[in-house]
Structures are given as C-alpha cells and as structure tokens.
Chain A
Amino acid sequence: MDLTKAEEAILNGESGEGMQKAMELVTALGKIYGAEDLIDITSAHLSGASYKTIGDGGLKYLEDMAAGGARVSVPSTLNPVGMDRGRWAEMHISQEFAEKQLRIIELYGKMGVRTTCSCTPYTGANVPSYGDHVAWAESSALSFVNSYIGARTNREGGPGALAAAILGKTANYGLHLDEKRKPTVVIEAEIDGSVFSYSMLGQAVGMAIGSGVPYFRGISPEVEEAKTLSAAMAASGSVALWHAEGVTPEAGSFDTSGLETIHIGKAELEAAYDKLNTVQDVQLIALGCPHLTEKEMHQIASFLKGKKKVNKDIEIWFCTSEEVRAKCPEDVRIMEEFGPVLADTCMVVAPIEGAFQRTGTNSAKAGNYLPTLCSQKAMCRDISALMELVM
C-alpha cells in the first residue's frame, strides 16, 4: 500500500504502541481489500458495544486499548449496548452482565468515544455531510449515511472502525470510490408506502440480490422509511448502499440503462413476510430496530393514547436513544403504560434469550437476527397488528 512518510512512521511505532496497532489493523484490512492508500475520515461509528456480542475477549481488548492510552481523533459514537443503564433489572439482566456492560461503556468513554449508544446516530449525535468519508460499523446506520446522506463508508467491523477512529484514517477502497457506488440492479418497487412495507421491501430485496447496489424506482422514503429499508437490506442481504430515483442525493448521477430490473410486488413481499414469521404467539413485543425516532415515538404514543394493555403475559419494550427519550417526555408517559421505554439498547444486542423464547417485532432486521443471535422464534408484523395482541 502507498503510505505517506507520516503513516509509515506510525506503522513503525514512532507514535506509540496504540497508534501502531491501529495502523497495523487498518493497513492489514486495506491490503485484503486491495486499497491503494489511506483516506482521512471525518467521523466514526463503532459496533462491538454490547457485552453479549463481544464477550470477555472483547472486554479485555478494550481494557488493554484504554490502558494503552488509545484515544479517538475524530467524533465517534457507539452502537446500542446490552441494557438500559438505569433500568437493566426490568430487562431481566444479571448483576454480573450489568457490571461488565457498564465497564465497557466506561472504557469507550475513556478513549474519547461519545457514549450515547444508538444505531441511529445520524438523527442527532453524529451526522455526516454529503461526500464525507467516514468509518462506520453498524450495518443499518452505515447504509443510511451512504445512501440517504451521500457520505462514504464501507462495512467496517468493530475493531477496524475503532482503529480508524484512533488514526482519523481508513483504507481507501470499495464504497469510498466513485466506481463502486454505481447501481448494479434496478428495483421496481410496488409497496403501500407504510414503514412496515419498507421493512418487507428491504427483506425481499436482500433475499433477491444478496449484495450489490440497488437503484429503486417507485418509492419515496423519508428518514424513518430509509432507516427501515437500510436495516432490512443489510440484514437479509449485505447491502451497504442503495439509491432511490428522485430521492437520494447521488441517484441522479447514474445511467441505469442496461442494468437488470427486478420487480418487487405482492408475491415477493408475501414471501418476505412468511420468511420472517415463524410463530403465532409471543412473550415479548419489541419495537425500535433501528431505534425509534422522535416522529415514531409520537406516532406510537398517539396510537396508544386512551387504550389499555389487557394481556399482562406479553411484555412490551420500546427501544430508542437516550437523546430521543429525553426529548419526548409526554410520549414516554403514555408508552410506559404499555411497557418500558428503554434507552441505548435493543432486543437484538440485549441477552433476551435468558427470559424469552418467542418475540414479536415490526423490524425485518430484528426478524432476521432474533432467531440467530437471540435463539428466538420470531413474529414480524406492523405495529398496530402487534399491539392488537395485548389489547
């Protein structure tokens, strides 16, 4: 790889061991993916925050990094953690898990990472601009900033994103390059436009293409829909960038003639729905994958206002960021009648498998991961259909 003199010096250990380790990792990954050089980044978003997903090996790694004086050099945010910091007991979480989780958050804080722990940092804590090169982990968030904002990031892993954040640089390959941002397939979408229909659309597209850069016709997503679509395609496939005609900032700059066109309509959406629904009754209903936005909090609260939760056997969790929860006290009050509004965690990275076996969600992303990461049988329906189960 073509490194500058300063980068070579870091690789040779002249800026200390922490920087050297970070450079070793970024250059090793760059080599694997054929990067020619490194590129400066303006922000990072890190995964590997839940004790459930990183375990004792990950915790020790963070202990050692922090003790070695590692610090991020660009604004960096963190993914959801395994519990709500103040309300973990309500999530059936053990004391031991809670202590280790709090330690992980503390260690990221020591390294200068902003410890609002959300998968939607682009709604407040960490907002890239068009054309920014960034190093983001969290498949749904990186797809959102690539697609809806026009920032540029690859699918970084947790340690790789942390190394990039420390250096302020990442390997220059893949979606940092114009050539790799071109659409690879056209999707003619026929959906009803509800947020849930975007979840099913994303699921169907991921199932149909796996990877690639889809170019959508016939959709007009706003933030919530784009968030949902990004999450679904990154979970059912490995899509990290998509374009929507007339909507996303780069869509107008491509010639799509000659690309294969795939139609996603009723039949494909039904197949997607069937794939995600493997159970008819649930013990937990969890909303907020990705984290609920302010608008979604208002919508849910106005839907629930004046209604009563009758079925006490089913628990309900609403998952959002600390920031959003603090901004919507009135909505929170209404929602709390149905279940806890949990901050900075979610049903996928929390150890729900200790307390539940069957979980309902409105998210295709959660629908994909609940069976594999949480040993759950999953139900995936829209919010009103889920809420009918308890009323």
Chain B
Amino acid sequence: MKVNGRTIMAGKATGEVIKLDEPLSFLGGVDGSTGDLRVGRGGNVAGKILVFPKGKGSTVGSFVMYDLMVHGKAPAAVINESAETIVATGAVISSIPMVDSIPSVGMFQDGDVVTVDASSGEVEIADVRCRAVVSSVLEKDGKVLLLRRPKSIGSFPGLWSLVSGKIEEGESPEEAAAREIMEETAISVGSPDGSMDPIYVREGSTLWKVYPFLFHVGDAEPVLNEENEEFAWESPEGLDGKDLVTDTDLVVRRLMG
C-alpha cells in the first residue's frame, strides 16, 4: 500500500522499519557513533527506515544525526507524523531522506519493508493492504455496547469489539456505520452524535483504516445476527478487564470524553 506524506528532505531509500511510538530525542535517545537506540524496544537505526511521531528534546539532537551519518550509522530515511526543527535540521544537514505528515505511526510495524521516495513524499509499505472500516460506539446510560467476535473468524477472533465492519464500494463511512449497526444489532440510528479522524490499526499484513463514530441509542436492545456471539453493555472504566480489539478503549475514551 502507498501513502502520501510531505517532503522535508528529498531522496529515496528502501529498508526495514524500526518504529517508536513516543516522540524521540536524538540526544540521549540514540548513540551517535553506533546507531544503537537507547529508548523504546532498543535495536539499531543504521540503514533502517526510522519511524516515530515527532522529535523532542535538545537542539544538539541535529548534530547527533550528523554524527550518525559521519559514522555510517544513519537511518536510511526518517518518517514522522509531524516534523519539528531539531529532526528536520538533522535530516537536512545529514542528507537523510525525510517525510512527514504521515497520518499515524500506527500504520507501521517493526520489520516492514518500506520504500520512501522523499522527493515526492510517497511512502510504500510492501506486502501490506489497507482496508477501510467503520467502528461505532453505541452508548446507552453511559455504557458502551460490546460485541464478542466468534473464535472462528479471521480478524481479531474471540475478542470484544465495537460495532464494526467494512465500508462497501460507493458507501460513505456514515452510511456504512448505520448499515453495520442495523445488520449486527437490528438497532436503527440516524446521523452520528460524534466522530473522530480515522485511526490506523495493524493486524499482520492488513492495515485497518478505522472511521470511529458515536451514536446515543436511547433504550434500544440489540438483536444479534450470526456475526457475533454475545453482547455486553460496559462502562468505559470496565473495559480494562476485557479482551478488546486493538485501540477500542482509545476510541471509547475519546468519543465518550
């Protein structure tokens, strides 16, 4: 699959992803002469496609990137959600291709083979396909409806999920959300009461682009079809004890405030 970012430093590179989920300070975070990562899951950045949300920390970080380049330990490319001065400066002075404005580092996994064409801003993740889905929070009296997926299903088997499903061709995310809710719970909804920007959830070679919605459903009770095995109304605090599909708690917390 391909995604388009913004050029910060031009150039092309292909390599394996090493990813951090938190902002990175090159000063202290990376050894300038060896390329060893001292944060996250460790590893080494040399020749890798280094993916992290954004830079932080001391401005000396730019020179740590230069040090990496001098020692032949620089990453092959840098991908950020949003560039800031320190990392952008380091990438430019060290001629490390860099792209930002990538929707989420959640699209990537360690070991993904990624080709960065930083001159056009295009980033291609090999052997990953993107699927657009909706995922709806149905809220009643401060509780959220969870559905248990069958153990036999291919995606997230046996886990509790929101009311989710694929967006069909020609369908808007809102339409897909209403259709899935009707199919899976027999509850009729109007326009969503809330939504947020899509989030990205990786499951093996599939990247789910998830459009989250919120619906207040009054006193409705779900009638399940064959897609799910059971349902439960759960308070946001009660989610912690359940086996959930990735980022379900994040969506509930954001949409239910």
Chain B 45-98 residues near chain A, CB threshold 8 A: 59-60, 62-68, 70, 83-86, 88-89, 91-93
Residues of A within 8 A of B89 (CB): 25, 28-29, 157, 159-160
Q: CB distance A24 to B64 under 8 Å?
A: no
Chain A 50-84 residues near chain B, CB threshold 8 A: 53-58, 60-61
Q: CB distance A31 to B66 under 8 Å?
A: no
CA distance A387 to B107 in the complex (A): 60
The winner among A25, A61, A157 for most chain B CB atoms within 10 A is A61
CB of B9 within 8 Å of the partner chain: yes
Residues of A within 8 A of B84 (CB): 32
Residues of B within 8 A of A21 (CB): 92-93
Residues of B within 8 A of A28 (CB): 8-9, 83, 88-89, 91-92
Q: CB distance B60 to A60 under 8 Å?
A: no
Task: Say how far A96's CB is from chain B's closest CB, in angstroms.
Answer: 17
CB of B19 within 8 Å of the partner chain: no
Task: Say how far A165's CB is from chain B's closest CB, in angstroms.
Answer: 14
Given contacts A24-B9, A25-B93, A54-B60, contact A157 B85 (CB under 8 A): yes
State the main secondary structure of chain A at its contact with B.
helix
Instruction: Give a binary string over B152-188; 1 marks a CB under 8 Å from any A CB, 0 the rest.
Output: 0000000000000000000000000000000000000
Q: CB distance A57 to B8 under 8 Å?
A: no
Q: CB distance B86 to A31 under 8 Å?
A: no
Task: Say how far B106's CB is from chain A's closest CB, in angstroms.
Answer: 22
Task: Say how far B4's CB is from chain A's closest CB, in angstroms.
Answer: 15
Q: CB distance B93 to A61 under 8 Å?
A: yes
CB of A158 within 8 Å of the partner chain: yes
Q: CB distance B92 to A57 under 8 Å?
A: no
Q: CB distance A54 to B85 under 8 Å?
A: no
CB of B149 within 8 Å of the partner chain: no
Task: Say how far A28's CB is from chain B's closest CB, in angstroms.
Answer: 5
Chain B 8-26 residues near chain A, CB threshold 8 A: 8-10
Given contacts A25-B92, A28-B92, A157-B59, contact A57 B64 (CB under 8 A): yes
Which of A25, A57, A158 lies in contact with B70, CB distance below 8 A?
A: A57
Closest residue of chain A to B27 (Cβ to Cβ) is A55
Q: CB distance B9 to A56 under 8 Å?
A: no
Given contacts A28-B8, A31-B6, A57-B32, contact A160 B70 (CB under 8 A): no
Q: CB distance B6 to A159 under 8 Å?
A: no
Task: Say how far A288's CB is from chain B's closest CB, in angstroms.
Answer: 23
Interface size class of B (residues with CB under 8 A): 20 to 34
Residues of A within 8 A of B70 (CB): 57, 60
Residues of A within 8 A of B10 (CB): 24
Q: CB distance A56 to B67 under 8 Å?
A: yes
Closest residue of chain A to B68 (Cβ to Cβ) is A57
Which of A32, A56, A60, A157 lies in contact with B62, CB distance below 8 A?
A: A157
Chain B 179-204 residues near chain A, CB threshold 8 A: none
CA distance A273 to B49 in the complex (A): 46
CA distance A263 to B8 in the complex (A): 42
CA distance A32 to B93 in the complex (A): 16
Residues of A within 8 A of B86 (CB): 157
Chain A 134-174 residues near chain B, CB threshold 8 A: 157-160
Q: CB distance A58 to B88 under 8 Å?
A: no
Q: CB distance B63 to A55 under 8 Å?
A: yes
Q: CB distance A29 to B93 under 8 Å?
A: no
The winner among B10, B60, B64 for most chain A CB atoms within 10 A is B60
Q: CB distance A60 to B88 under 8 Å?
A: no
Closest residue of chain A to B83 (Cβ to Cβ) is A32
Q: CB distance B85 to A29 under 8 Å?
A: yes
CA distance A298 to B60 in the complex (A): 36
Q: CB distance B66 to A58 under 8 Å?
A: yes
Which of B6, B59, B66, B88 lies in contact with A61, CB distance below 8 A?
A: B66
Residues of A within 8 A of B83 (CB): 28, 32
Q: CB distance B66 to A57 under 8 Å?
A: yes
Q: CB distance B93 to A159 under 8 Å?
A: yes
Task: Say how far B233's CB is from chain A's closest CB, in angstroms.
Answer: 42
Chain A 178-234 residues near chain B, CB threshold 8 A: none
CA distance A24 to B88 in the complex (A): 10
Residues of B within 8 A of A60 (CB): 66-67, 70
Q: CB distance B85 to A58 under 8 Å?
A: no
Task: Say how far B120's CB is from chain A's closest CB, in angstroms.
Answer: 15
Residues of B within 8 A of A55 (CB): 32, 60, 63-64, 67
Residues of B within 8 A of A25 (CB): 89, 92-93
CA distance A241 to B160 in the complex (A): 53
Task: Say how far A173's CB is from chain B's closest CB, in angstroms.
Answer: 12
Given contacts A24-B9, A25-B92, A25-B93, contact A32 B64 (CB under 8 A): no
Known: A55-B63, A58-B63. 16 other contacts (CB 8 A): A28-B8, A28-B92, A32-B83, A32-B85, A48-B59, A53-B60, A55-B64, A55-B67, A56-B67, A57-B60, A57-B68, A58-B60, A61-B66, A157-B59, A159-B89, A160-B85
> 20 A-B residue contacts at CB 8 Å?
A21-B92, A24-B92, A28-B83, A28-B88, A31-B8, A32-B83, A54-B63, A55-B32, A57-B65, A57-B70, A58-B63, A60-B66, A60-B70, A61-B66, A61-B93, A157-B85, A158-B59, A158-B62, A159-B89, A160-B85
- Give B residues with C-beta under 8 Å from A: 6, 8-10, 32, 59-60, 62-68, 70, 83-86, 88-89, 91-93, 100
- Give A residues with C-beta under 8 Å from B: 21, 24-25, 28-29, 31-32, 48, 53-58, 60-61, 157-160
3 A-B pairs closest in CB distance: A57-B67, A57-B63, A58-B63
